[in-house]
Every structure is written in structure tokens, then in C-alpha cells.
Structure 1
Amino acid sequence: MKIQIISSSDLGGGAARAAFRLHSALTAIRCSSNMLVSEKRSNQENVITKTNGFNKVLHRVLLYISRAIINCQKSRNNVLHSLCIFGDRKLFKEIIDSEPNVVNIHWHGNEALSIRQIAKINSPIVMTLHDMWSFCGTEHYNQDENDIRYEEGYHAGNRCKTDKGIDLDRFVWAYKKKKWKKQFTIVTPSNWLTSCAKNSALFDGWNVITIPNALNMEVYQPVDTQTARELLGLPLDKKLIGFGAFGDITDPRKGLDLLIECLSSGAFKYGDYECVVLGNANNDIISALPIKTNVLGHLNDDVSLKLFYNSLDVMVVPSRQENLPQTATEAQACGIPVVAFDVTGFPDVVEHKKTGYLAKAYDKDDLSDGIKWAIENKECITEHTRYRAVERWDSDKIARKYQQLFDNIDTNHKTMQ
């Protein structure tokens, strides 16, 4: 059986990393998997891109036009928005020509695949969601719990009254509904996103299941804290609080402002605590953080990331919305407690006061209490934290779940032919 995994990139961003890790895990159990991307960053032979030469220039032009069109809609929702109406023609042609048994589509933003192209794929489709875009309009996450257009269907009467310009969310949602007549299987990594997809007007009655993201536990595992700090040039005698993101660290959804408020409390103003930031942090961010901050920048290789997590006393992921954040699962695999808010996908990651702390939604004081609790209890919860991570996210286990799903879909497809 031939599996084709589709993603805009293989390493550019959290969703791309999740897709690449699944591809690697499937390959490791000898499942015939190829990964097809618009932007290739790895050196793996079975990661394929056809986006080069003139087609690469054309793709960038279409992406620029797509983003310009997005600006015609003025929305209070300031998360990422995507159209996906052009698509990469070479990537789509490769899918059609290779005739895979199953196509597993992951993050296809940046005009990797269009809504129309997905509808024209002949092979059975499994769509793995890494955010809410597939059943929303152009937005990748809804604004808040009161923003339920994706549940009702997008119409003029339920648009936010402060939004201006063309209602692109309504147009794109209606276009998906028109084109996606043939149902495909939906996979989400968290129970929260599964619930959202099942409650959506677009995927009502579709097959939606939960399979977490795969993580190589032989790579992400506990190592000596002092050694990790020495190799990264971090202080040996401080309580280190980690924060970071693979994407835009200033994205309001990531909750940097909430962390700043939390660390501004008196408990962290003494010299015992320092912050370690993963990702790009400019001088404004560094100066806004009320305690001394060590910036590591983007760490793209797994070894450096493992050292980052193992250097910490606690990893804080203060996001307002997340699916199954890999900064949290990676930290847990290294035995590091994670502190987050008790919202969206975090209950799938953190077992409260057993592998970390789930604070009341957006309560900076409770977040502060959680950080202190995690630091005080790190040593006695590390073993259970690691054990739970292996049980839930081990790449071999996740790959076999996907393999069984693909086998079932392929068998049913052949039976119906």
C-alpha cells in the first residue's frame, strides 16, 4: 500500500514538523510512505517537492495575491487567515499521477493545495487537522467561545458587527461546502479539536477520530540537567522557566502577554528565576519580560531541542488556544513539567498535579501558582511524566494506529469499486 503525506513544508512550523514525524514513523515500521511538500527543508530522499524553477516563482506570486485578497477582510480575529483557492499545480499533478492508495493531507496553507484540488483527488483522503481552518472560513482558529459561525454555518446574520470589508470567511466556508461533497476521514490530535470538528456544520456526520501526533521517544528523553545547561551556555544555579513557539512567538494566541503579567508578580522578581525563550524574540519582548531572559532563537534539530527542554525546571505554554502543542509534548517526554491553562487541547497533554499544572483559564495568579508548584515538585513527577508521554505519543504506537486506519480505508475503498 502506498501512502502519500501532503504538507506545505516538512519542517517549517509545528504542523509541518508533526507531519514529517508521522512520515518518519511510518517509514520506520516499513510502511510505504512518501511526503510531498511545496517547500522542502530536510534532506530526506522520500520527501519530494516539485515546486522549483518557474513553478516556484509562480507559487510565490499566487501566495502574494492570496495574502493581498485576505487583507480585503477586516476582522477582529487577528490569527492567521488563509484562502487556499489557488494551490500548487505541480504538487497536485504529482498526487494525481502517483495514484496513491491513501492521501493523508496535513497543513496545506500557503496555497499548497486548493479547496478545489482536494475535491478532485481520486484516492481516499485522510485529512489530519492541526487547527480549525478546515471547518471554519479563512481563520485558522475562531475568535473565542462565543464565535460559533463554524457550528451554525457562515451567513450574513452571524458575522461579527465590527468586521468590515468582504466577508471572505463566509465565501471560503461556502466554497468548501460546495466542493467537498465526497466525505473523507478526519483525524485530529486532540479530543478538543475532535469535538469541534464533530460539532461543525461542515463536517456534521463525517468520520472524525482522534490520533495524537507522533514523537520519537528515543530522541526526546531525560538527560542530565547540568550537562544540558552547560552545552547551551545557560546558568547552572537558577530556576529556569521555558517558553517558546515554532511559529510567531508574538501571535496573541500564544499568550506571551499572559506570561509577562504572570512573571511580573513579586514571586519571580528575585534573582533565583530566569526565563529561557525558544524562537525569535526581539529587544521589545526581552525588555517586556520582567526577569532576566536567555534567548536561544530557533532550534531546528531535535538534539538541540532536547537539550533546551532538559535544561528547564518548568515549561510554560500560556496559549489561549492550542490543538496538541509539541512544545508541551516534547517537554513532557523529557520528564519536564508543563504549566498551561485548562483550555482547548491542554487536558490531553497535562495531567493536573501529576505531570504539570492546569491553571484556571487566563488567570495569571493561578498560572503563577502552577509555575511554583511545578518547580517545587519537578523531581518527584519526572518519572511519571516521562512514562505517560511514552504511553500516549510514542512514534511507533502512533504510526501503527495510522497504518491500521489506512489499511481499513484502502480495504473499504477496494470493496466499493
Structure 2
Amino acid sequence: MKVLHIQTGMTPAGNAAYRLHQAMRREGIESYVLTYQKTIKRNFVFNEKTGLKQIIAKFYNKIINTKIINKKKAGTYLFSVFPRITFNEIIQHAKNMDVIYLHWISGGYLSVKDISKLAQLGKPIIFFMHDMWTMTGGCHHSFDCTQYKTGCKECEMFQSRGNIAFKQNKIKANLFRKYNNLYFVSPSQWMANCAKESSILKEKPVYVIPNIVDESIFKPLDKGISRNILNLPHNKFIITFGCQAGINNKFKGFDYLREAINNLNFSDIQLLIYGSDYNQRTVEQLKYPIIFLGPINDEHVLSLICNASDLFVSPSLAESFGLTFLENTLCGTPVIGFDCTAIPEIVKTGINGYLTKNKNSEDLSQGITLIYNKKITMKETIKYNSSAIIKQHKELIKNILEK
């Protein structure tokens, strides 16, 4: 079986699409990845060619996107539209494949025309939804907005209630309705439920298959050795916060963590932040010392960080799955997160950490205190097997091909 994964970019670490590709390879599936953006050289990962036509298209689409972004309200979340023009070689790469997986394809990669051409090949196309973009008029997470259920007619992300989101919503609905070889996979039950309630995907097949984490990498290691390798103190209670988008991404909830930590009264707290470089303002706002590790580009280093930590806290306001919670849990490190979106599917109070009231820094502080005082400990790790997850993909593909 030959599978092609298509994604705009391929980050060096923590990339769900690449992890799925690797796991498929380990289980005997002939898997390949095609990306739009240049990436580091990896096994069976190919980049789209970049010529004059591609540069012109990228520049033109950027102008259009800038006009859209300028109409957004300040401080709103990511919003993406289909590119107007593209020049790529997806058909040449896809025509010899049995199954096509579409992952994160925003950022100017695939147009409506491109997806139509792929669908017209007659092969199964599986959208693996890493956020809510597939079911909305353009936002990647809706948060408290429910407009995606009724067509995004009054998008709250824009200064004036224009029809950008409504038009994009309608384009997606018409595109997905036109072809019966399109299937949709959500990594969480929460997002699958959202999809079935959406005006775009309510009539499409939606399946739930978790994300892949390599349990041969993310596993319990000696905490002392992990701290030695990372040059971290042994006499501190290390609370870790990770966000590859940086601490300034307000949707990852660092402001709530800052308030919670400043409410603590322990003498040996050490905050560890990865994904963000040194920030003087953050240092001045916290009463405890901070170590910044910067962007992390290696999964083995991520595993060391998980194992070196006493506690991982991610007060994120929206998660389609909660990959960092799972990574830490597999390493035996307790986790804390808000009771929202897909987070409760992984974070279990009294089992692998503490699930706090949503957007509540006081309860966040309470959870940290309970784990610090060992009132809550890791009772068990979540049962997780990447081979079993690939088996779910195999069964899905088998059922689709037998239709």
C-alpha cells in the first residue's frame, strides 16, 4: 500500500504528520511526504520545486492574505483562506499512490482547484484534521464562537461583519459535498463532535484516530541524568511550560500560568520554558527564576525535557488533541491543563495530573500545590500503543477501498 501525506511545512520536532508517516513506515506501509515549504532532509520526504511561477504565486497570495489580515480584529487567532493561484506538482506525486492524506495545507499550498484535481483521481483522500480549519470559514480554532455550526455568516474575527468567512465556508461546503471519496479523521472525540455539528462536515464521514507519539522515545528516563544532560538544577521543583509558538501566543495561556505561579509560596520553584527565547519582561513579571531553552528541534531532547520536569503545565485555551500532555504522561511526568476542548480526554485528575477549571488561575495554582505536596501523583500512565493506532488507519483504509 502506498500512502502520500501532503502538508505545507514540516517542523523539525513534534510534527504530527511526520510522526504518522514514520509509524506507517515502521508497520510496513510504503509512506511518503510532500511539502510546500523547504525542510530539513528526511527519509521519504519531498519538497515542491520552487521556480519563478511558484515565487510569483506566493507573492500574489501573500498580498491577498495581507489584505484579509488587515481586516481582522487585533489579537484574534489564526485565520487562513484558500490561495487564489498555485503552481505545484501534487498530481504527479499523487497519481501513483493508493491513498492521499491531507494534513495542514494552509499557508498558500493547496487551492480549491488543487483539491478538486486530487479528488478527481478517484483515490481516497483523508483529511487529518489538526485543528478546526477544515470545518470553519477560515479560523483554526473557534474558541467560544459557534458560527461554524450555521455557516460563519457573522464572523467575530473581523472589524466589520464582512462575508470573508461566510464565502470560505460556502466554498468548503460545496467542495466537500461534490466528491464522495473525501474522508475526515479527528485525533479527538471532542473535535469529531464539532465536525459533525458543523455546517461543512455534518454530512461527511468523520472518524476518530489519535495522534502518534513514538513511545520508544517518550518513555520514563532517569530524572537526574536528564537534568545533567540539560544542565538543569537538581535541587529545584521544575515546572515546565512548552509552546513552539512562543510565550507571546496568548492562546497558549501563559498569562494564567504566570498568575498561578506568582500565587505560590514555595522556595524551590524553577520555571522551565521551551519554544521561546529569553524574554526580559517575562523574567521581571515572575517571582521565581526562569530558564529559557528556546526552540526545540529534536524529539529526543523533548523527551529529556519531559523527564527532567517535576510537572508540565499547559493552560492552553484550545487543543485539538493535546500532544504535549501525552508526551509528558508517557515519560511519567504529571500534567495540568484546563477543562476545555480535547484536553479532558488526556488529562485526568488523580490519574496523570490535574484538570483545572477553565481560565482559572486560582485553580491552576491549587493544582500545582497539590502535585508539589504529592497529594496527587502519577497513579498510572495512559494506555498507548502506536502500532494499535496504525492498525486503526489500516482498517479505515481497507474499509474505504472495499466500498
* Cα deviation digits, residues 214-268 of structure 1 (max 9, x gap): 1110111111111111111111100000001122432221001111111121x24
Read off the aligned partner of 1:135 and give its amino acid letter: M
Relative to 1, partners in 2 of residues 1:357 and 1:380: Cα closer, same or farther, differing over 3 Å?
closer
Task: Tell whether the 8 Å contact from 2:350 to 2:377 is kept in structure 1 after alignment.
Answer: no
Please, which of 291, 296, 315 is the counterpart of residue 294 of structure 1? 291
Segments ≥4 residues shifted beyond 6 Å: none
Task: Tell whether the 8 Å contact from 2:357 to 2:363 is kept in structure 1 after alignment.
Answer: yes
Counterpart of 2:396? 405
Task: Tell whether the 8 Å contact from 1:40 to 1:47 is kept in structure 2 after alignment.
Answer: no
2-side partners of 1:199 and 1:56: how far apart? 37
SS at match of 2:402: helix
Q: Which runs of 5+ in 1 are unaligned?
A: 413-417
Shift of 1:56: 5.2
* Cα deviation digits, residues 80-116 of structure 1 (max 9, x gap): 11112246522433345x3322111111111121233
SS at match of 2:312: strand
Relative to 1, partners in 2 of residues 1:53 and 1:25: Cα closer, same or farther, differing over 3 Å?
same
1-side partners of 2:400 and 2:85: how far apart? 26
Q: Which runs of 5+ in 2 are unaligned?
A: none
SS at match of 1:377: coil
Relative to 1, partners in 2 of residues 1:336 and 1:368: Cα closer, same or farther, differing over 3 Å?
same
Shift of 1:287: 2.6
Relative to 1, partners in 2 of residues 1:342 and 1:161: Cα closer, same or farther, differing over 3 Å?
closer
Task: Tell whether the 8 Å contact from 1:49 to 1:91 is kept in structure 2 after alignment.
Answer: no
2-side partners of 1:202 and 1:286: how far apart? 44
* Cα deviation digits, residues 116-168 of structure 1 (max 9, x gap): 32132122211010111111112111141xx211001122xx44497327432
Please, which of 320, 326, 330 is the counterpart of residue 329 of structure 1? 326
Task: Tell whether the 8 Å contact from 2:276 to 2:295 is kept in structure 1 after alignment.
Answer: yes
Shift of 1:179: 2.3
Read off the aligned partner of 1:109 and give its amino acid letter: S
Relative to 1, partners in 2 of residues 1:194 and 1:76: Cα closer, same or farther, differing over 3 Å?
farther
2-side partners of 1:87 and 1:104: how far apart? 22
Shift of 1:58: 3.5
Counterpart of 2:6? 6
Which structure is richer in relative contact order (CA contacts within 8 A, separation 6 or more)? 1
Percent of aligned pairs with the same residue? 28
* Cα deviation digits, residues 293-351 of structure 1 (max 9, x gap): 00001111111111111111000010111111222111111011110011111111112
User: Number of residues paired by the alignment?
Assistant: 397
Counterpart of 2:115? 118
Shifted more, 68-77 versus 367-376: the winner is 68-77
Read off the aligned partner of 2:281 and give its amino acid letter: D
Task: Tell whether the 8 Å contact from 1:339 to 1:374 is kept in structure 2 after alignment.
Answer: no
Read off the aligned partner of 1:51 and give its amino acid letter: K
2-side partners of 1:214 and 1:69: how far apart? 37
Counterpart of 1:415? none
| Larger helix fraction of residues | 1
1-side partners of 2:374 and 2:188: how far apart? 26
Name the Cα RMSD after superposition: 2.2
2-side partners of 1:244 and 1:161: how far apart? 26
Shift of 1:64: 2.1
SS at match of 2:239: strand
Counterpart of 2:44? 46
| Pairing of 1:1-400 with structure 2 (within 5 A) | 1-11=1-11, 17-54=15-52, 57-58=55-56, 60-75=58-73, 78-86=76-84, 88-96=86-94, 98-121=95-118, 122=121, 123-144=123-144, 147-155=145-153, 158-160=154-156, 163-164=159-160, 166-180=162-176, 181-183=178-180, 184-265=182-263, 267-268=264-265, 270-281=266-277, 282-377=279-374, 380-381=377-378, 384-385=380-381, 388=382, 391-392=383-384, 394-400=385-391
Superposition TM-score, scaled by structure 1 size: 0.89
Shifted more, 59-68 versus 227-236: the winner is 59-68
